Amino acid sequence: MMETTNQTLNTIKPSKFIAFNRLFAAVYTFAVLTLLYYHVLKLITNSHTKSSIFISISMLIADLLLAFTWSTGQAFRMYPVTRKPDPEKIIETIGKSGFPDLDVFICTADPYKEHPISVVNTALSVMAYDYPTEKLSVYISDDGGSQLTLFAFMEAVKFGKYWLPFCRENDIMERCPHAFFGSNCEKIHQSEKIKMMYEKMKKRVEEAVESRKISEHISEKEREAFGKWSQGFTCEEHPSVIEVLVDSNRDTDIRGVAMPNLVYVSREKTNTSFHHFKAGALNTLLRVSALMTNAPIILTIDCDMFSNDPKTPYSVLCFYMDTLLSSKLAYIQFPQSFHGLNKDDIYSSEMKRWFHINPKGMDGLSGPDNMGTCCFIIRKALFGPPFSILQPEMALLSPNHVVKNLISSQQTLEMALYVAGSDYEKHKNWGFEIGFRYGSLVEDFFTGYRLHSEGWKSIFCDPERPAFYGEAPISLHQAVNQVKRWSVGLLEVAFSKYSPLTFGMTNLGPLMTHCYSYYAFSPLLSIPITIYAFLPQLTLLNQIYIFPKVSDPLFLLYIFLFLGAYIQDCLDFILEKGTITRWWNEQRIWLIRGLTCYLFGTIEYLMKQLKFSTVEFNVTNKISDDEQSKRYYEGIFEFGVSSPMFYPLATTSIINLAAFFGGFLQIIMKGEKYLDSAFVQTFIAGFGVLNCIPIYEAMALRTDNGRMPIKITIIASFLAWSLYFVTSNFIFKV
């Protein structure tokens, strides 16, 4: 395939599988249509009893939704590309003096779920970027409004004065202290000394968090800053706090080199105004940074990630400086990569399809969706469409404004406090036409989608050495809780006035509409997965056969559809450096999500629509105990807590087991004729059983704290039995 080069700063290479993908999609579409035709025919001609109508309609709905997901998912396969920047060239082309300013936004929201020492590590890793320090600024948004976080940063600055020159002089790759000291670092000059300093800082921060009190040994100036935490200051209600911890015009490291700016921002919170979670926090930073530095490029990074390559901004500039791309370029997205996953990645936290495979598919169209973190956004893209930039209410906040005041001047600080006020956005465009968009718990996805709809493009950059690393949830409960929040957020987009099916269709090309629909409606997969997890099994137990016989030619259609989708999925995974075991775990987690977070996310979304409840951004807990970590590294599933989400999972595992053995026994007893009619259902139940092995272990074989709570096992057994009883006596008998 031909490679095209733009100013040699970057290359783009289409995938070798494009022709194959398209051909396969055409064949598979034909097969899907045949299946749907068969369902409709069966419903019209063969469904005479109430129970057969119920079964036929359920299967039709299930297969329609699967077909929808499959067909929208094909858009990612139509033109996948891989881009490669040439970071060395950027220095030759513009030199470091030509580098634009770079602002970094780091969000944190809760010092007890997001340990301040980790947030500090994130910040230090980017402050140590190989970038002209006077052009680099780091802004911390603390939605937890916590003294502990501010204290941690004060400590970090002192350590940073040693850490930054140490990294620079030794050309360290791992500039996140925690990652560096955890690696093989002894050979480097002075690393022992620096390590001791780091440990000391860490200890001070950890002691503060543990005792929920900051150390007595602080300077007068520091004490003054903490004075803002007066009586009545809570994380839900407090005035804005903004502290310029490092001003690069003033502060230097131990070698006398300027340090990057570091600004702590905790926006005002009141009970009377809605703060829009992370999107609101980012918009506050957007305004505060506009007053202080107003860099044209912004890196958004969550506090659970850190930089793994100090030269990442060079790659970004290879796209930003490319004149063929720059006029419509809204953001450059790097994948979220995770360290510390267990060998087989049991919860498929890697999210290979969402974070690595699909973005390449979108990159060949208008560009990847926004993942909220590891993303370099071009500031002006947040201010209206590419060729008609919207001016915000104050010229000072415009992306074109040139900053003249010093960042720690009184005037700047007063203005910054004002724009960080909780009422500031009232009757203004923020979150609607300007900035990160409100209205969805997945503000990243929604913002990216809106930018694409306005005509902006984005780029996916997935270098060999991951640019960022992050932490992934290490218990099943955390993992599904996170995706539950995403599910609510996605449905908020799917059924809003910005639905991809309506708004998207008119503003994006058909393929991009497919991609966004694939994500936005993905929680609805809970419907087919739930149907397939219960209906074939319950009917089998009642000796009702709902699939074609093995001797029927339609059986081959089922085989083709099942194997076709599964093998293609597996191939995608392997080609993206996956292993078979990890792929198997990914398909299992896909099924688990269908019965847990997709299902509960959909219910939660409906509850919110019906005004029975409101939805919250539940920050993922990033702290786990040692025992839990140990089990995780041994590859053992962690249940432990009695989450309502585990009920469907436990119930279906029991039903599948019963159905599989029921079917199997009957095949043995009744022989070939039975095999002919019951094979598909017995196979599905067997497939379910295979996927449920960790659940059986957790219910029956384990005694550790991570096992399935006994209460859930008992209630699920009862539920399974009731389902069988009700279906056999009432539903399938009519």
* Residues taking part in catalysis: 143, 444
Strands (E), 303-418: 305-307, 329-333, 375-378
- Are the beta carbons of 133 and 259 closer than 8 angstroms? yes
* Binding test (CB under 6 A) with ligand UPG, winner from 441, 451, 540, 592: 441
CA-only gyration radius of the chain, Å: 27
Q: Which of 440, 436, 370 is nearest to 605 (CA)?
A: 440
- Are the beta carbons of 711 and 642 closer than 8 angstroms? yes
Distance of closest approach, residue 234 Cβ to ligand UPG, in angstroms: 15
Residue placing its CB nearer to ligand UPG in the complex, 489 or 694: 489
Site string for ligand UPG, 269-298 (x = CB under 6 A): --------xx--x-----------------
370 binds ligand UPG (CB under 6 A): no
Residues sharing a CB contact under 8 Å with residue 316, sequence separation 6 or more, in sequence order? 85, 297, 332, 376, 461
619 binds ligand UPG (CB under 6 A): yes
* Binding test (CB under 6 A) with ligand UPG, winner from 243, 302, 425, 462: 302
Residue placing its CB nearer to ligand UPG in the complex, 489 or 688: 489
482 binds ligand UPG (CB under 6 A): yes
619's contact among Mn ion, ligand UPG, none, with CB below 5 to 8 A by partner kind, is ligand UPG
Residues sharing a CB contact under 8 Å with residue 692, sequence separation 6 or more, in sequence order? 652, 653, 656, 657
Q: Which phi and psi (to 5°) does residue 266 adopt?
A: -125, 105
CB closest to ligand UPG, residue no: 372
- If one counts every other C-beta atom within 10 angstroms of the C-beta of residue 29, the result is 14
477's contact among Mn ion, ligand UPG, none, with CB below 5 to 8 A by partner kind, is none
Distance of closest approach, residue 435 Cβ to ligand UPG, in angstroms: 14
Stretch that binds ligand UPG, among 60-68, 151-159, 480-488, 513-521 (CB under 6 A): 480-488
**Strands of 297-302's sheet, edge to edge?**
241-246, 261-266, 136-142, 102-108, 297-302, 375-378, 329-333, 457-460
**Strands of 10-14's sheet, edge to edge?**
4-6, 10-14, 81-85
Q: Which of 83, 636, 620 is nearest to 305 (CA)?
A: 620
- If one counts every other C-beta atom within 10 angstroms of the C-beta of residue 151, the result is 23
* Binding test (CB under 6 A) with ligand UPG, winner from 334, 617, 660, 724: 617
Residue placing its CB nearer to ligand UPG in the complex, 127 or 442: 442
522 binds ligand UPG (CB under 6 A): no
Q: Which residues of 72-107 are buried (b: 16+ CB within 10 A; e: fewer)?
A: bbbbbbbbbbebbbbbebbeeeeeeeebebbbbbbb
Cα gap 40→34, rounded to integer Å: 10
* Binding test (CB under 6 A) with ligand UPG, winner from 253, 444, 572, 604: 444
For 419, half-sphere exposure in the C-beta direction (CA atoms, 13 angstrom radius) is 25
310 binds ligand UPG (CB under 6 A): no
Distance of closest approach, residue 578 Cβ to ligand UPG, in angstroms: 21
Residues sharing a CB contact under 8 Å with residue 399, sequence separation 6 or more, in sequence order? 290, 294, 296, 379, 380, 382, 383, 389
Cα gap 722→654, rounded to integer Å: 12
Tell me which residues in 116-135 interact with ligand UPG (CB under 6 A): none
State the helix-helix crossing angle for 672-696 and 580-595, rounded to 10 degrees: 90
357 binds ligand UPG (CB under 6 A): no
486 binds ligand UPG (CB under 6 A): yes
Stretch that binds ligand UPG, among 261-269, 393-401, 482-490, 682-690 (CB under 6 A): 482-490
* Binding test (CB under 6 A) with ligand UPG, winner from 63, 143, 350, 572: 143
479 binds ligand UPG (CB under 6 A): no
Report helix, strand or coil for 11. strand
Residue placing its CB nearer to Mn ion in the complex, 110 or 302: 302
Distance of closest approach, residue 123 Cβ to Mn ion, in angstroms: 16
Stretch that binds ligand UPG, among 459-467, 485-493, 525-533, 566-574 (CB under 6 A): 485-493
Residue placing its CB nearer to Mn ion in the complex, 622 or 707: 622
Residues that bind Mn ion (CB under 5 A): 302, 304
Residue placing its CB nearer to ligand UPG in the complex, 617 or 632: 617
Distance of closest approach, residue 278 Cβ to ligand UPG, in angstroms: 4
* Binding test (CB under 6 A) with ligand UPG, winner from 107, 194, 636, 685: 107
3-class secondary structure for 569-624? HHHHHHHCCCCHHHHHHHHHHHHHHHHCHHHHHHHHHHHHHCCCCCCCCCCCCCCC
141's contact among Mn ion, ligand UPG, none, with CB below 5 to 8 A by partner kind, is ligand UPG
* Binding test (CB under 6 A) with ligand UPG, winner from 72, 137, 141, 284: 141
Q: Which phi and psi (to 5°) does residue 391 adopt?
A: -90, 130
620 binds ligand UPG (CB under 6 A): yes
Tell me which residues in 371-430 interact with ligand UPG (CB under 6 A): 372-373
Residue placing its CB nearer to ligand UPG in the complex, 177 or 470: 470
Stretch that binds ligand UPG, among 408-416, 435-443, 633-641, 677-685 (CB under 6 A): 435-443
70 binds ligand UPG (CB under 6 A): no
Long-range CB contacts for residues 97-100, cutoff 8 Å, separation at least 24: 97/132, 99/131, 99/132, 99/135, 99/313, 99/317, 100/135, 100/295, 100/296, 100/297, 100/317, 100/320
Residue placing its CB nearer to ligand UPG in the complex, 277 or 320: 277
597 binds ligand UPG (CB under 6 A): no
- Are the beta carbons of 376 and 298 closer than 8 angstroms? yes
- Number of chain residues interacting with ligand UPG (CB under 6 A): 25
299 binds ligand UPG (CB under 6 A): no
* Binding test (CB under 6 A) with ligand UPG, winner from 9, 55, 75, 109: 109
Binding site for ligand UPG (CB under 6 A): 107-109, 114, 141, 143, 277-278, 281, 302-304, 372-373, 441-444, 482, 485-486, 489, 617, 619-620
